[in-house]
Amino acid sequence: MNLDLQKIKNIHFVGIGGIGISAVARLMLSEGKDVTGQDMQEGKMVDELSKLGAKIMIGQSYENIPADTELIVYTRSIEEYDSKIFKQIKDSKILSKSYPEMLGILTENKNTIAVSGTHGKTTTTAMISKILIDTDKDPSVIVGSLLKETNSNLVIGESDIFVVEACEYKRSFLNIKPKILVITNIEADHLDYYKDIKDIESAFSEMVNQTDSFIVCDPNSISVSNVLKKEHKAKVIDYTKYLDKVPKLSVPGEHNRMNAASAMAVAEFLNIDEEITKKALSEFSGTWRRLEKRGETKEGTIVYDDYAHHPTEIKASLEALREIYPSSAKASEGKPAKKITILFQPHLYSRTKALFNDFAKCFKRADNIFLLPIFFAREAKDESISSEKLASAITLAGDKAKAFPDFESAEAYIRELNLGENDVFVTMGAGEAYKVANKLFKF
């Protein structure tokens, strides 16, 4: 992609705290680059990068970019939420690349395994990575979460295998040209960018077309089937044929068994012994913020955090939780009944609006549903949609839901519930709902 990183020393990252772009910053630090950056807020990624030697400013401005910067790497979200700095970056004489473009550069000429799909990308990427690491394949990995074994979103390996989580938003994954492409599933999402499911399918069709060797997917899924109708050179591997081989997993849920089946298909292509693959998968303990068990309060309440922000993901997470914690109607000896309380923060006005009816019906396995204000991220406020309206729709669908105007009122209300040993409390969403648990339970 016409960029020789060997010749570049000073790199500045705009939005350095993002879960993907921060991995690239880590990699550049490991290669001895001088890394500077800026982000709108402090956080786990910013703290970790600062410890590694990155010089990071909180607050966003073009003036924060050092004069000796040779390359600017930016998160694509600034194209919307800060168009001014984006224009300044593009108008400057400093070379600039988006995070997806950097992924393309880093994986160029590698045996790249790209994991794509609407749901399950992070977990599947982590599962594949664990198998490869456990079998001394020594891969490099960039994942959209933190691997529990390393507490990092980056693994630096010596082999030519590179495993990356490949996001379809704004067709970002088209910067990658993989040897193996995993498609976990395809559903309607990111409808602030895509027109409809057909538009999403067109992006996946392009990705399939530039895949070199193998496509691991469920070819009988309607949208995946539509994508595979277009001409492509890669061989299709049906991961559903591996479901019967999936061992007992530590992570619950049918969706995780599907993720594991995809990982097994990739491992077989790489000639990894099936028993070793099964052992690695059975020991897989999940990743940061993917139905992550955070702990237990002194009163006995079990606390989870989950990144689910799409109706399909929410439904899958609740089904997984009910495998572990049955409702009163399903409780049996050795598995006492638990009440599940969800504190959900909808992510994006556009997603909440486009999938409104699905959101209203996806919380069926929860006992209490509490909603925080919509996390609008890159979007302008849309008065036509709100958490209050969603709470009303959930209630009309037959469940208990209550919306809060701010975090403080949610904290006060939940504190008064006196949750105890029969309760499971879950913060959910791609935003900042987890901060409520941090404050209430001192995590």
- Mean pLDDT of successive 10-residue stretches along the chain, which has 443 residues: 85 95 97 96 92 96 96 93 93 96 95 97 96 96 89 94 96 97 96 94 97 96 94 94 96 95 97 96 91 94 95 95 82 72 96 96 96 87 94 95 97 94 96 93 82
Chosen CATH of 292-441 out of 3.40.50.720, 3.90.1150.10, 3.90.700.10, 3.90.190.20: 3.90.190.20
Using the structure block, give the residue that is written with the tokens 């609407």: 118
Query: End-to-end CA distance of the chain, in Å?
Result: 43
Listed by start position, the domains of the chain span 5-98, 109-282, 292-441
pLDDT of residue 376: 86
pLDDT of residue 377: 76
pLDDT of residue 335: 64
pLDDT of residue 80: 83
How far apart CA 240 and CA 216 sit, in angstroms, is: 10
CATH topology for 109-282 is UDP-N-acetylmuramoyl-L-alanine:D-glutamate ligase (3.40.1190)
Cα 46 to Cα 29, 38, 40, 161, distances in angstroms: 13, 9, 10, 27
Per the CB < 8 A criterion, the answer to whether 353 and 437 are in contact is no
Q: How does pLDDT run across 168-202, given as a tens digit for each residue?
A: 999 999 999 999 999 999 999 998 899 999 999 99
Tell me the pTM: 0.88
Per the CB < 8 A criterion, the answer to whether 25 and 154 are in contact is no
pLDDT of residue 227: 96
- Of residues 174, 186, 252, 257, the one with CA closest to residue 223: 186
The torsion defined by the Cα of 414, 437, 316 and 133, in degrees rounded to 10, comes to -170
- Of residues 399, 303, 306, the one with CA closest to residue 344: 306
- 265 — alpha (psi -120 to 50), left (phi > 0) or beta? alpha
CATH of domain 5-98: 3.40.50.720
Pairing state of beta strands 423-428 and 401-403?
Answer: unpaired
